[in-house]
Amino acid sequence: MPPGNYKRPPIIEAVIAFGFAEPIETASFEKVRAKFAGEYTSVEPRLGLHVNIDAAVPMRPTSAQPRLDGYKLSTPDQTDIVLVDRQGFTTAKLAPYDGWPKFCAKAAANFDRYKAAVGRQQITRIATRYINRLDIPFSADGRVDPSNYMTVGPGLPSGLPTPGGYNVLVNFAWPEPRVRVNLITASVPPAIIGHGSFALDIDVYLDAGVPQKDADLWAYMDRLRDVKNAIFERCITDAARAIFDT
């Protein structure tokens, strides 16, 4: 079985996201909402604050008012999500994950709907992000050492005990022009009795020289997903792979 084709992949959320050069108007939020109304029936406003500044005293705001900054739209089962904000559009899929071809096709269809509502915009960022949760069984002594299952984690001096909790963020350039990665690993609340749970969050993105034509855009999105897979395989051990294949 090729690496990555696991019986039980640990993916709890997959994301395809776009960032734009210019913000959209508040009225455009309703146009986007209408395009998704038949399928994404759950609607949650995303509110922010609009701060008015006194020109005579620039450092002193005169008032702050709530402002609609977008919507979170979800299907009835809450597993398919669309996020729209002033300078971004995101398609997300929560577990169970159906595989890249189906997810990518859904994201492309959603992006077409978004463009039909607001028109074409200059794209300044594209990203594929996958959040994985590794559920690792306790050993006989009631402990779990994530380093047996992941090759990333907190780098502590030798002689110190395994940390009870941690959160590590690393940003780095991939050895390919313009591609960058946010890699997060963290302990998270256990999801299964008798197990410790750990997040492995891989966000691969391009924020310079982003393709603007649809064919080039989605071809590059495929490439970002390939990079994500390569990073994931480097971050796990055979012990983790055995869990995913049982």
Q: How many helices (H) and strands (E) does the chain have?
A: 4, 9
Confidence of residue 159 (pLDDT cuts 50, 70, 90): confident
Confidence (pTM)? 0.89
Q: Average per-residue pLDDT in the chain? A: 90
Confidence of residue 1 (pLDDT cuts 50, 70, 90): very low
Distances 134 to 189, 208, 216 between C-alpha atoms, Å: 11, 32, 34
pLDDT at residue 147 tops 60: yes
**Residues 62 and 175 both lie in one domain:** no
pLDDT for 3-19, tens place per residue?
458 989 999 999 999 99
Instruction: Estimate the share of the chain in helix, then strand, then coil, as percent rounded to the nearest 5.
Output: 25, 40, 35
Decide which of 46 and 128 is more confident. 128
The domain boundary residue, chosen from 102, 121, 140 = 121
Mean pLDDT of 64-77: 88
Question: How far, in Å, CA of 112 to CA of 106, rounded?
Answer: 10
Confidence of residue 43 (pLDDT cuts 50, 70, 90): very high
Percent of the chain with pLDDT over 90: 76
Would you say residue 7 lies in a domain? no
Local structure of 228: helix, strand or coil: helix
Strands 123-137 and 11-20: antiparallel
Name the residue range of residue 44's domain.
22-121
Local structure of 1: helix, strand or coil: coil
b/e 144-176 (16+ beta carbons within 10 angstroms → b): bebeebbebbbeeeeeeeeeeeeeeeeeeebee
**Residues 88 and 156 both lie in one domain:** no
Confidence of residue 102 (pLDDT cuts 50, 70, 90): very high
**Residues 232 and 183 both lie in one domain:** yes
The domain boundary residue, chosen from 61, 96, 121 = 121
**Residues 103 and 142 both lie in one domain:** no
Residue with structure tokens 């028109």?
Answer: 119
**Residues 79 and 145 both lie in one domain:** no
Q: What residue spans of the chain are helical by DSSP H?
A: 26-36, 100-118, 214-235, 238-244
**Residues 231 and 175 both lie in one domain:** yes
pLDDT of residue 63: 60
**Residues 166 and 116 both lie in one domain:** no
